[in-house]
């Protein structure tokens, strides 16, 4: 096996699909979350900062995406990243999506959201763009353990994820699931259970995130009080390797580490060194003769 092809990576998938390199344009659409506005909770997930997953983005009142050809890419993905990007009425959602897709260089629409913010009507809206664009939805599962979900203030149980997947499957919209390694009180057994849970669903992509601590979050308070300790780099590499080798070989791996904002990161320091993480995982896969899905059959095929 080609040492550089130990898992299905997103860049290769996009290049095969569009014939050339495709880059993301990250968008802050001005959304919030149901576990921030009181619908199912307040304060958001304990690891989530004031700007959601896109602390590096500049919020804009108007969504105007105007990419220009560069040496890096000529085609782009309009990626709604911050908070829950389906958490609004249909009219508002359509207006924001339409604004982001006005440029002919945009070839795909990616929407990050929560499973409890997916409905038939929303799926129908997203499907309406699929004739012209590649459309996919990112669902933040993080863990299948409902007790951990309470600790991190996720605001929904894992059966809600299953329902959201069923709706999106019905409209043939690709799904990218987020899983987090190193959540409070979780062990490698919890990681194994989450992978088994994911493998029972028809999803097309996976993002593996390390749990990092940023300023002004509940997780930071737990860290500073000594109630939470992040994983070491070696522990993360071990867990990520298990995920890769046990997940379906057909799934596209969109990410194998989290991207912490340098100015807000409290710990772990190794999270800032993306090459350490990627090279460490690749080295382990090569040394142990492992690859994506090597042990998938032992876990059973997705339903």
Which tens digits make up the pLDDT trace of 172-227? 999 999 999 999 999 999 999 999 999 999 999 999 999 999 999 999 999 999 99
Among 44, 21, 19, CA closest to 33: 44
Task: Examine residue 175 and state whether it is found in any structural domain, yes or no.
Answer: yes
Instruction: Dump pLDDT digits (tens) for 84-143.
Output: 999 999 999 999 999 999 999 999 999 999 999 999 999 999 999 999 999 999 999 999
Question: Could you give the number of structural domains in the chain?
Answer: 1
Confirm if 142 and 156 have CB atoms less than 8 A apart: no
Under DSSP, is residue 45 helix (H, G, I), strand (E, B) or coil?
Answer: coil
Among 110, 124, 257, CA closest to 179: 257
Q: pTM of the prediction?
A: 0.91
Residue 89: other Cβ atoms inside 10 A: 10
Task: Examine residue 303 and state whether it is found in any structural domain, yes or no.
Answer: no
Q: What value does the mean pLDDT take over residues 9-30?
A: 95
**Res 1: pLDDT:** 46
CATH code of 47's domain = 3.30.750.200
Q: 47 exposed, middle or buried (CB, 10 Å; 0-12, 13-18, 19+)?
A: buried
Length of the chain: 303
Instruction: Dump pLDDT digits (tens) for 44-88.
Output: 898 987 655 544 444 444 565 666 666 688 999 999 998 899 999
In angstroms, the first-to-last Cα distance of the chain is: 28
Task: Examine residue 114 and state whether it is found in any structural domain, yes or no.
Answer: yes
Domain that holds residue 56: 3-298
Among 166, 196, 193, 161, CA closest to 177: 161
């Amino acid at each position: 096996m080609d040492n550089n092809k130990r898992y299905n990576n997103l860049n290769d998938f996009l290049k095969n699909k569009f014939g050339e390199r495709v880059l993301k344009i990250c968008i802050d659409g001005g959304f919030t979350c149901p576990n921030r506005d009181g619908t199912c909770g307040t304060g958001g997930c304990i690891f989530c900062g004031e700007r959601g997953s896109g602390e590096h983005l500049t919020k804009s009142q108007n969504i105007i995406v105007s990419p220009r050809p560069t040496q890096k890419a000529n085609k782009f993905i309009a990626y709604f990243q911050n908070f829950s990007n389906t958490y609004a009425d249909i009219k508002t959602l359509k207006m924001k999506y339409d604004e982001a897709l006005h440029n002919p260089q945009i070839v795909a629409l990616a929407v990050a959201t929560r499973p409890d913010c997916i409905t038939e009507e929303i799926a129908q809206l997203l499907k309406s763009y699929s004739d012209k664009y590649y459309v996919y939805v990112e669902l933040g599962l993080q863990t299948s353990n409902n007790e951990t979900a309470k600790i991190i203030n996720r605001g929904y149980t894992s059966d809600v994820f299953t329902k959201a997947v069923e709706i999106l499957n019905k409209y043939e919209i690709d799904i990218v699931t987020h899983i987090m390694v190193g959540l409070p009180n979780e062990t490698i057994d919890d990681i194994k259970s989450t992978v088994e849970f994911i493998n029972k669903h028809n999803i097309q992509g996976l993002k593996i995130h390390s749990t990092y601590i940023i300023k002004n979050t509940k997780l930071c308070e737990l860290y500073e009080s000594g109630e939470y300790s992040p994983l070491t780099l070696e522990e993360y590499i071990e867990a990520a390797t298990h995920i890769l080798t046990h997940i379906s070989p057909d799934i596209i791996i969109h990410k194998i580490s989290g991207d912490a904002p340098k100015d807000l990161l409290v710990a772990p320091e190794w999270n800032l060194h993306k090459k350490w993480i990627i090279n460490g995982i690749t080295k382990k896969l090569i040394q142990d003769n492992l690859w994506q899905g090597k042990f998938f059959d032992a876990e059973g095929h997705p339903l």
